[in-house]
């Protein structure tokens, strides 16, 4: 059953996340003013990308986002991407070119890194070590088959990640299905 707050639109772009996730990301970013870079794996249709890009603009920076294909309402998002300075790449995030782009962009700065590509566990394991202290890394679909909770918990421990707001990760009115970790 779809909750009424799921799969609405944001700026006419069909969401692939619930409004509650947008609210949670806002809370996380307000509570973490040290964040000064934004990376997203899995652009999808671009609605969440626009939200992240707005936060980036507010912090005088820009979002970089990666996907292997243009999906959904993504073409609707392109004008917003252009206005917000989003750097969108049609690359596999695991390619050396992508990793180099991400590493160069980060410059040892605290980052909000959102994993929502095709392999969240691999994304978490690959990119968390690139993040500087006080970064936040999040993985969507945490409470579904896409990312097994035990594997995610073990990966987080192995990477010395600290769960951030775990009480809101799953369940509740919105069920944001996203885990957040603070990089030590």
Look over the chain and give the mean of its residue pLDDT values, rounded to a whole number.
89
Least confident of 6-20, 69-83, 131-145: 6-20
Check: CB of residue 38 under 8 Å from CB of residue 61. yes
Residue 1 falls inside a structural domain: no
Q: Is 60 left (phi over 0), alpha (psi -120 to 50) or beta?
A: left
Domain region containing 127: 9-183
Quote the pLDDT of residue 4.
58
Quote the pLDDT of residue 173.
66
Summarize pLDDT for 5-33 with one digit per residue, the tens.
666 777 777 778 888 899 999 999 999 99
| Residue in 28, 19, 13 with CA at minimum distance from that of residue 138 | 28
For residues 181 and 76, the model is more confident at: 181
DSSP 115-175: E-SS-HHHHHHHHGGGSPTT-EEEEESTTSTTS-HHHHHHHHHHTTEEE-SGGGSS-TTT-
Residue 4 falls inside a structural domain: no
> Given pLDDT bands bounded at 50, 70 and 90, which one contains residue 127?
very high
| 170 has a pLDDT exceeding 90 | no
pLDDT exceeding 70 applies to what percent of the chain? Answer: 90
Distance CA 136, CA 123 (A): 14
| 147 has a pLDDT exceeding 80 | no
Residue 170 falls inside a structural domain: yes
Residue 37 falls inside a structural domain: yes
Distance CA 86, CA 50 (A): 8
Q: Name the DSSP letter for residue 89.
A: E
CATH number where 131 lies: 3.40.50.150
Residue 56 falls inside a structural domain: yes
Residue 146 falls inside a structural domain: yes
| 49 has a pLDDT exceeding 50 | yes
Residue 3 falls inside a structural domain: no
> Given pLDDT bands bounded at 50, 70 and 90, which one contains residue 171?
confident
Q: How many domains does the chain have?
A: 1
State the burial class of residue 15 (Cβ atoms within 10 Å of its Cβ: 0-12, 13-18, 19+).
buried
Residue 69 falls inside a structural domain: yes
- Average pLDDT in the 75-82 region? 89
| 3 has a pLDDT exceeding 60 | no
Compute CA distances 165 → 8, 18, 31, 42, 100, whole Å. 25, 17, 11, 23, 30
| 149 has a pLDDT exceeding 90 | no
């Amino acid at each position: 059953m779809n909750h009424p707050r799921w799969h609405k639109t944001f700026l006419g772009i069909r969401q692939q996340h619930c409004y509650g996730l947008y609210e949670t990301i806002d809370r996380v970013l307000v509570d973490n003013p040290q964040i000064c870079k934004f990376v997203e794996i899995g652009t999808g249709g671009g609605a969440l990308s626009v939200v992240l890009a707005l936060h980036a603009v507010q912090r005088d920076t820009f979002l970089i986002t990666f996907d292997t294909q243009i999906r959904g309402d993504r073409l609707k998002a392109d004008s917003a991407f252009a206005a917000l300075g989003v750097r969108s790449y049609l690359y596999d995030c695991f390619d050396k070119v992508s990793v180099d782009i991400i590493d160069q962009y980060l410059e040892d700065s605290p980052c909000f890194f959102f994993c929502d590509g095709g392999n969240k566990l691999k994304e978490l394991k690959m990119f968390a070590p690139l993040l500087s202290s006080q970064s936040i890394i999040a993985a969507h679909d945490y409470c579904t088959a896409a990312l097994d909770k035990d594997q995610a918990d073990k990966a987080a421990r192995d990477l010395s990640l600290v769960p951030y707001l775990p009480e809101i990760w799953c369940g509740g009115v919105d069920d944001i299905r996203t885990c957040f970790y603070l990089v030590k």
